[in-house]
C-alpha cells in the first residue's frame, strides 16, 4: 500500500478519525472503499501512497446521541447533557475495531494493527500501514474497567481518558475561544485508577482534550512519559485545547511527546475552525515553539485528519509533502524531520508499550 514518498520521509501520525468516518458511512448505507480514492476522506490508501502516510494512531470516538451519526470536519462546543453510556461507547468501539480489522483483511497484507513498537518498525520497513488503536474518551471501558481487557486483546494500546465532554474519569476542555485549559476539577478516583492500570498494562495515556487539573494529576501519578497526541502551543493560539507553557514544561521534564494538530482552529491566532487559509509558516511557528519547549525529541505530528478542517495547502494526507517541504525551507535538517514525522512517536511507544 505505502511507499516512501519522493520527499524520503514516511509519516507516522499521532491522531486521525478515519475509522469513525468509515463506520458512520457504513451505518448510512455507504461502504467507502478505503483502497480507492474517496473525496470525503482525508485518509485513504490512494492519498496515503501519494503523501507518504505510513500509519499512526487510529482513534475511535463515540459521538453523543444528540449528535446523531454524522460528524462534520468543523468542531463545536459539546452540547449539555452529551454524556454517553458505557454500552453505547462499547458498541461504537467494537464496531470501529471491526472496521479496522476489515480494512486489514481487505489490504491483503498492506495494513496491520500494531501492538508494539517492534510491530510498527517492522511494518514501516515493509511498507505496511501501521495502525495503533486509540480510544478518545474512556467511557467504553466501564466504571469497573470490566471491558478494558477485551479491548486490549483486540489491539487497543492508547487511551484518551476524556474528549471535550465530562465523563466518569475526567473533565474535558470546551472548544470555547479564547480560553485556558484550567477549567474544572481534576481526575476522579476512577480516573486516577485508570492511570495506574494503563501504566501497568503499557497503554499510552493521551492528555489531549484533558483539562489542566486532570493534566496535573496524570503528571503526578504516571510513571510513563507524558503524551498529547494532537495539541498545539497555547502561546500562539489561545484555545483551551492547546498546551500552556507550564504544561509543555511538564511534558519536557517527563521526556514526553506532543503531536502538532493540523486543525485550523488550534493553529490560527483567531481560533477560526472554518477558515482553512492557514499558511505553512503558521504550522512551522508552532513546530518551532514546541521544539524550543520540548527539544527535538519531543515533537511529532498529530494531524487530526478526518476530524477537523485542515489548512488548504495540505488538504488531506496526500498534502503531507507540502509540510515537509516547508520544514526543509525553514532549515530543518533530515535528522530532525525524521524525528518529527515518525521517529519520536516510535521512541515514545518503545518506552510505553509492552513488547
Kindly report the CATH number assigned to the domain that includes residue 219.
3.20.20.140
Q: Is residue 3 part of a domain?
A: no
Q: Is residue 277 part of a domain?
A: yes
Q: Which whole number is the average pLDDT over 271-294?
A: 98
pLDDT at 2 over 80: no
Q: Is residue 149 part of a domain?
A: yes
DSSP state of 137: S
Looking at the structure of the chain, the number of domains it has is 1
The predicted structure's pLDDT at residue 81:
45
Instruction: State the Cα–Cα distance between residues 13 and 57, nearest whole angstrom.
Output: 6
The predicted structure's pLDDT at residue 66:
61
Q: Which whole number is the average pLDDT over 244-270?
A: 99
The predicted structure's pLDDT at residue 3:
44
Q: Across the strands, what pairs with 15?
A: none
Q: Is residue 2 part of a domain?
A: no
The predicted structure's pLDDT at residue 64:
86
Instruction: State the Cα–Cα distance between residues 117 and 132, nearest whole angstrom.
Output: 10
- Whole-angstrom CA distances from 15 to 144, 246, 270, 343 are 27, 23, 23, 15
Top mean pLDDT of 29-33, 64-68, 72-76, 304-308 is at 304-308
| Residue range(s) defining the domain that contains residue 271 | 11-350
Q: Is residue 1 part of a domain?
A: no
The predicted structure's pLDDT at residue 7:
65
Instruction: State the Cα–Cα distance between residues 268 and 307, nearest whole angstrom.
Output: 17
Q: Is residue 16 part of a domain?
A: yes
Tell if the pTM clears 0.85, that is, is over it: yes
pLDDT at 132 over 60: yes
Q: Is residue 31 part of a domain?
A: yes
Q: Is residue 36 part of a domain?
A: yes
pLDDT at 302 over 70: yes
Q: Show Cβ contacts of residue 7 under 8 Å, excluding neighbours closer than 6 positions.
A: 52, 321, 324, 325
pLDDT at 6 over 80: no
Cβ proximity of 266 and 241 under 8 Å: yes
The percent of residues above 90 in pLDDT, for the chain, comes to 91
Amino acid at each position: 500500500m505505502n511507499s516512501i514518498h519522493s520527499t524520503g520521509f514516511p509519516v507516522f501520525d499521532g491522531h486521525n478519525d478515519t475509522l469513525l468516518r468509515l463506520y458512520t458511512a457504513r451505518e448510512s448505507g455507504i461502504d467507502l472503499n478505503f483502497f480507492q480514492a474517496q473525496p470525503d476522506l482525508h485518509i485513504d490508501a490512494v492519498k496515503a501512497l501519494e503523501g507518504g502516510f505510513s500509519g499512526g494512531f487510529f482513534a475511535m470516538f463515540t459521538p453523543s446521541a444528540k449528535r446523531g451519526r454524522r460528524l462534520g470536519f468543523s468542531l463545536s462546543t459539546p452540547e449539555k447533557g452529551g454524556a454517553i453510556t458505557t454500552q453505547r461507547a462499547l458498541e461504537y468501539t467494537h464496531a470501529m475495531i471491526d472496521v479496522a480489522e476489515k480494512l486489514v483483511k481487505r489490504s491483503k497484507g498492506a495494513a496491520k494493527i500494531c501492538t508494539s513498537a517492534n510491530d510498527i518498525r517492522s511494518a514501516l520497513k515493509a511498507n505496511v500501514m501501521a495502525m495503533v488503536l486509540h480510544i478518545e474518551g474512556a467511557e467504553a471501558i466501564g466504571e469497573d474497567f470490566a471491558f478494558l481487557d477485551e479491548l486490549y486483546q483486540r489491539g487497543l494500546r492508547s487511551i484518551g481518558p476524556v474528549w471535550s465532554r465530562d465523563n466518569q474519569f475526567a473533565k474535558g476542555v470546551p472548544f470555547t475561544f479564547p480560553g485556558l485549559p484550567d477549567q474544572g476539577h481534576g481526575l476522579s478516583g476512577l480516573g486516577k485508577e485508570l492511570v495506574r492500570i494503563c501504566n501497568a498494562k503499557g497503554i499510552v495515556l493521551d492528555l489531549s482534550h484533558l483539562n489542566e487539573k486532570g493534566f496535573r494529576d496524570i503528571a503526578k501519578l504516571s510513571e510513563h512519559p507524558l503524551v498529547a497526541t494532537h495539541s498545539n502551543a497555547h502561546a500562539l493560539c489561545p484555545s483551551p485545547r492547546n498546551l500552556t507553557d507550564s504544561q509543555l514544561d511538564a511534558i519536557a521534564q517527563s521526556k514526553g511527546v506532543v503531536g502538532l494538530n493540523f486543525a485550523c482552529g488550534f493553529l490560527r491566532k483567531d481560533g477560526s475552525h472554518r477558515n482553512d487559509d492557514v499558511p505553512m509558516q503558521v504550522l512551522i511557528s508552532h513546530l518551532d515553539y514546541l521544539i524550543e519547549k520540548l527539544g527535538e525529541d519531543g515533537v511529532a505530528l498529530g494531524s487530526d485528519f478526518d476530524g477537523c478542517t485542515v489548512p488548504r495547502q495540505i488538504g488531506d494526507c496526500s498534502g503531507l509533502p507540502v509540510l515537509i517541504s516547508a520544514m526543509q525551507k525553514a532549515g530543518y535538517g533530515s535528522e530532525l524531520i525524521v524525528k518529527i514525522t515518525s521517529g519520536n512517536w516510535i521512541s515514545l511507544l518503545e518506552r510505553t508499550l509492552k513488547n
